[in-house]
Structure 1
């Protein structure tokens, strides 16, 4: 699958869930809804062995749909399930270490940059992307204003792509797209959508197709 390269694209964050089989079905449905650049699969508080089994179920679904599967958790699990990359939600040292250890054979990105100075320090580590917000930060319908501001500043200043956490409402994709950020991350807006995850992804892409600003070539 090739997605639209000239506008903001979707990144999905798998929610916390008990039943891996049910989660796989919902994720599979989401990926049928349209363009998804990547899927971040967080470990949350799951024990490594159980998380590895869950990830082994989810990663092939993501890859078969043409998206990149990124593990937010144990790097050993990332390798064992043959994921495309790792998301480091920790500190600068952890991100720099992962970049040195795993690139270019894997995608390495991360976040937890809550202000500009930290973001620039993380950028100096040369990750594949920077994430503004928390993976479970979609607690309101709209994106957090601070994350939008950081995304706008970063997109104007730095060539490394950024992902900005959206809100629990699908319309939040446009607020992120308007910042010039390359990617918008969604969790509840897709996986808790009353009409289903496939409809949510289709609607989000339709909004972006119709109203998102285009990047300059």
Structure 2
């Protein structure tokens, strides 16, 4: 028997001040309902001061529940490391990083701060990311335009990575019926898109049962 995968919760893309009011109580409920290791907060681009204020609103709630808060902000051309650190978060998440970006971020994220990456669509790019010193690699997850990668491809990539590499990976479910198969890939974490938990956190307990079953069967 192996340990059951833990959960990672993904917020919607483009979270701004208007969305945070509804997000915070939903997160509180979801965090209390399952074994959540981390939350990836996907912010809408804004100025650094506004982003820091949003991170400060969310981070204490997540950390009080024993989870890590990772800050993502597609399209932000400022210093995401500074936003994360000044907001009290645990690290940053980047999708489709530019050449050299991961090594630069790794060098600037100190004191155990987490660097995660997603949006990687080839094995070569995944291995390059691993060599840059990331703390986890995420397969799947909705793109900012709302399109989800093919679920079978996500499972195949997660299974390949988990079998060969020591760096943890997250396999993201965009639909409830994807959870059990992702849990069987060997991925250390199963990610849940916001559409699965934001409106009804009761699904977290259901997902937790599936993950526990996967651990017992391994």
TM-score (normalizing by structure 2): 0.85
TM-aligned CA distance change 1:206 to 1:139, over 3 Å: farther
In structure 2, what is the equivalent of residue 57 of structure 1?
57
Aligned residues: 205
TM-aligned CA distance change 1:48 to 1:94, over 3 Å: same
Q: Deviations over 1:48-75 (max 9, x none)?
A: 3333222211111100000011111322
Structure 2: 5+ residue stretches without partners: 74-79
Alignment counterpart, residue 111 of structure 1, candidates 99, 113, 118: 118
CA contact (8 A) 2:141 2:173 kept: no
TM-aligned CA distance change 1:213 to 1:151, over 3 Å: farther
In structure 1, what is the equivalent of residue 82 of structure 2?
76
In structure 1, what is the Cα distance between the partners aligned to 2:147 and 2:94? Answer: 21
Single out whichever of 36-45 and 206-215 deviates more from structure 2: 206-215
CA contact (8 A) 2:69 2:89 kept: yes
Are residues 1:6 and 2:3 paired?
yes
In structure 1, what is the Cα distance between the partners aligned to 2:34 and 2:124? Answer: 36
Q: Deviation at 1:112?
A: 2.1
SS for the counterpart of 1:160 is: coil
In structure 2, what is the Cα distance between the partners aligned to 1:99 and 1:118? Answer: 16
In structure 2, what is the Cα distance between the partners aligned to 1:211 and 1:105? Answer: 30
Structure 1: 5+ residue stretches without partners: none
TM-score (normalizing by structure 1): 0.85
In structure 2, what is the Cα distance between the partners aligned to 1:183 and 1:28? Answer: 20
In structure 2, what is the equivalent of residue 48 of structure 1?
48
Single out whichever of 49-58 and 106-115 deviates more from structure 2: 49-58
SS for the counterpart of 1:19 is: helix
CA contact (8 A) 1:92 1:122 kept: no
Q: Deviation at 1:91?
A: 2.9
In structure 2, what is the Cα distance between the partners aligned to 1:143 and 1:211? Answer: 22
TM-aligned CA distance change 1:70 to 1:214, over 3 Å: farther
In structure 1, what is the Cα distance between the partners aligned to 2:142 and 2:85? Answer: 21
CA contact (8 A) 2:81 2:109 kept: no
SS for the counterpart of 1:175 is: helix
Are residues 1:209 and 2:212 paired?
yes
